[in-house]
Amino acid sequence: MVKYYSTRGKDKGSHTPDLAMSLNSLYNALSDLGQHSEALPFIEESINLYHQLVAIHPESYTPDLAMSLNNLRNALSHLGRHLEALPFIEESVKLCRQLVAVHPGSYTPNLAMSLNNLHNALSHLERHSEALPFIEESVKLCRQLVAVHPGSYTPDLAMSLNNLYLTLSDLGRHSEALPFIEECVKIRRQLVGVNPGAYTTKLVDSLENLRDALSNLGRHSEAQMVHI
């Protein structure tokens, strides 16, 4: 998972930034425990505080607001409230684009992940045609990141390739979808060779998708040869 990097400064005489970050951390802790309903009000409060901070110091706190908006989308998605989640990830993508325009080296990973999550939000609403350009852009950005930092961003590229396959498949574009899941499987095999504990489950998921992709194209004998 791509982490968001903050450039925020310290507001002298104000504890609002610390409170906002602590609320975000409390959200993360509860979310990790699967307590999504309990986590929700804390990330909502964090976003309210970051909106106030961004109004005064946009350069310092916009990254934190983008991160918190992404987290709120995740919280609502876990609760099945996908339509409510959509505006927050759309706002996160908008902010990340602004950050990349000024600091591309620092915030391209943030934009790639937010685009992936916007794709997910639209996919949950079965708006696959709208989701497609965002996951295509995420794949493009992840390729750029891997070219420079392969050790850090290869897992994100694999995830985005898998999601691009799923969207094209949902649109019935099976021939176009196949190369992306094949590439995803290849990458995840390499990752398993380095860290099997972290990536074996993801490889199994991708192999299942590869088998489905081949079956969708009527290549059933090849699909049967995909061992999961």
HEC assignment per residue over the chain: CCCCCCCCCCCCCCCHHHHHHHHHHHHHHHHHCCCHHHHHHHHHHHHHHHHHHHHHCHHHHHHHHHHHHHHHHHHHHHCCCHHHHHHHHHHHHHHHHHHHHHCHHHHHHHHHHHHHHHHHHHHHCCCHHHHHHHHHHHHHHHHHHHHHCHHHHHHHHHHHHHHHHHHHHHCCCHHHHHHHHHHHHHHHHHHHHHCHHHHHHHHHHHHHHHHHHHHHCCCHHHHHCCCC
Q: pTM for the whole thing?
A: 0.89
- Please report, in tens digits, the pLDDT of each residue of the chain (228 residues total): 444 434 444 444 378 999 999 999 999 999 999 999 999 999 999 999 999 999 999 989 999 999 999 999 999 999 999 999 999 999 999 999 999 999 988 999 999 999 999 999 999 999 999 999 999 999 999 999 999 999 999 999 999 999 999 999 999 999 999 999 999 999 999 999 999 999 999 999 999 999 999 999 999 999 999 987
Alpha-carbon gap, residue 2 to 158, rounded angstroms: 13
Alpha-carbon gap, residue 190 to 155, rounded angstroms: 10
Q: Which spans in 103-149 are helix H?
A: 104-124, 128-148
CATH of segment(s) 126-228: 1.25.40.10
Cα-based angle 70, 72, 74 (whole degrees, multiple of 5): 75
CATH assignment of 15-113, among 1.25.40.10, 2.30.40.10, 1.20.5.50, 2.60.40.10: 1.25.40.10
Angle, helix 174-194 to helix 150-170, in steps of 10 degrees? 150
pLDDT of residue 15: 83
Each domain of the chain, given as residue ranges in start order, spans: 15-113, 126-228
* Residues 64-84: tens digit of each pLDDT: 999 999 999 999 999 999 999
Alpha-carbon gap, residue 96 to 209, rounded angstroms: 31
Alpha-carbon gap, residue 70 to 65, rounded angstroms: 9
Inter-CA distances, 9 with 44, 63, 107, Å: 22, 12, 17
Same fold for the pair 15-113 and 126-228: yes
Q: Report the 10 Å Cβ neighbour count for 76.
A: 22
